[in-house]
Amino acid sequence: MNQCMRITFIAGGGKDNLHSFVRRYARQFSLEGVVQPLTDNKVRIIVCGPRDKVEDFIDTLYSGITQKKLDDLRVEPFMKDRDYRGVFRVIE
């Protein structure tokens, strides 16, 4: 069964490294969606795919970014509002 999740958080330091990290693992788990900065340090990720892969991605994301300062992490269900065409993109 597929699901979509919206993940928002505030992370300190290197957005480029964060975007690369997110994109690498989204592709590794064959997920689709986007990662997008909302403000200087606030980031939003929309990720869609098989439930188990999305959960693995969230676990990997959480363990990988806890090395950076991480605040206000929110993970919530998301109604897919567009076709991501089976890819994961970084929006600058």
Residue 70's closest CA among 28, 25, 20, 7?
A: 7
Q: Where are the domains of the chain?
A: 2-90
Average pLDDT, the chain: 85
Task: Give the pLDDT score at 68.
Answer: 58
Low-confidence ranges of the chain (pLDDT < 70): 13-16, 65-70
pTM of the model: 0.84
* pLDDT tens sequence across 31-48: 999 998 888 778 899 999
Does domain 2-90 bear CATH number 3.40.50.1370?
A: no
State the Cα–Cα distance between residues 91 and 46, nearest whole angstrom.
11
